[in-house]
Chains A and B, each alone.
Chain A
């Protein structure tokens, strides 16, 4: 395997994480990840180096996620899948040994609540929010991946954050 292929393979966790967060289905996320890597491997010659390999791969992954989202047959199927991942309850996975049981309970509640609201966001707001807060990508990276202008990325991010704060309540 070449270095390029190794770099593609190293991106698997990030692609899988994004696909799982967006689709909420483990099998579909695995399919998207595999398709993405395969597509990247087959179109290595088309990679011009305009962006980083990570950005290029996430662009491919996002298109695959969107394709699935557009397919209404998948929508029905997805809801009936036994492999669906309930990310709303995913806070129960968290176990910070340094935190007290009370702090862990608060952490779990907050993460669960955020996932609940993320699901209600528009597709663009959700995508931008996940890419920024889950993957730590900058507005420039998100622009390159989604094709949404940098200014619009910031607005979507603001709206997503503001919606989450409104839904979850705020002290001010």
Chain B
């Protein structure tokens, strides 16, 4: 194959289809090779961008600080200091359940980077934990527990942390 590949042949190549003859031509022809490699590279960048769409849109709020504006940062700092002050002010027993991590509620979209969340303390029926998708090792599903719940701006619960002493075991 001495002639250059046609525009259609180049497009077919980029789409993943080419013959042995075309492959040999691209090996030998710098012009065609440059064109194929150029578009392969461009579409590679397009794909790399796609991964960033995921990172940007699904990461947790704490990871979005780089994109925050100064007023947001200032507000976050004030909020954080307030929370620290409140945490220091509230007396805690050594075996406080505050050490327990928050457990994400299954099948709820993660908080968007711009979304604010509130931690709400409430009495939570064990049945609600089961309904949210947690596996609860507790024979008495009619009982309730004290829990901190992270609630998004739209009112959806995103994560829960049990606080009260409870013989049951909760997992995802």
The residues of A with any CB-CB pair to B shorter than 8 Å are 1, 5, 9, 12-14, 16-17, 20-21, 26, 29-30, 33-34, 37-38, 41, 85, 87, 90-91, 93-94, 96, 107, 110-111, 114, 132-136, 139, 154, 157-158, 160-162, 165-166, 170-172
- Please, could you name 23 A-B residue pairs with CB atoms under 8 Å apart, sorted by A? A1-B106, A1-B135, A9-B106, A17-B50, A21-B53, A29-B57, A30-B109, A34-B108, A38-B107, A41-B107, A87-B53, A94-B48, A94-B49, A96-B48, A110-B45, A111-B45, A111-B49, A114-B42, A114-B46, A157-B16, A158-B8, A158-B15, A165-B7
A107 to B38, CA, bound (A): 12
B34 to chain A: which residues have CB within 8 Å? Answer: 171
A29 to chain B: which residues have CB within 8 Å? Answer: 57
4 new A-B contacts, CB < 8 A, other than A33-B109, A132-B16, are A5-B106, A158-B8, A162-B11, A170-B7
Beta-carbon contact of A94 and B45 below 8 Å: yes
User: Is B116's CB within 8 Å of the partner chain A?
Assistant: no
A161 to B40, CA, bound (A): 11
Beta-carbon contact of B57 and A139 below 8 Å: no
Within the complex, the shortest CB–CB distance from B4 to chain A, in Å, comes to: 7
Q: Restricting to B1-51, which residues have a CB under 8 Å from any CB of A?
A: 4, 7-8, 10-12, 14-17, 31-32, 34-35, 38-39, 42-43, 45-51
Partner of A171, one of B16, B35, B133, B135: B35
A172 to B9, CA, bound (A): 11
User: Is B164's CB within 8 Å of the partner chain A?
Assistant: no
Beta-carbon contact of A17 and B54 below 8 Å: yes
Instruction: Evaluate whether A158 and B54 lie within 8 angstroms (CB atoms) in the complex, with A26-B112, A110-B45, A172-B35 already known.
Output: no
Beta-carbon contact of B57 and A16 below 8 Å: yes
A41 to chain B: which residues have CB within 8 Å? Answer: 107
A110 to chain B: which residues have CB within 8 Å? Answer: 42, 45-46
Return the chain A residue nearest B14 by Cβ.
A161
A123 to B58, CA, bound (A): 25
Beta-carbon contact of A37 and B107 below 8 Å: yes
A91 to B50, CA, bound (A): 10
Instruction: Evaluate whether A91 and B49 lie within 8 angstroms (CB atoms) in the complex, with A26-B112, A133-B43 already known.
Output: yes
Beta-carbon contact of B45 and A107 below 8 Å: yes
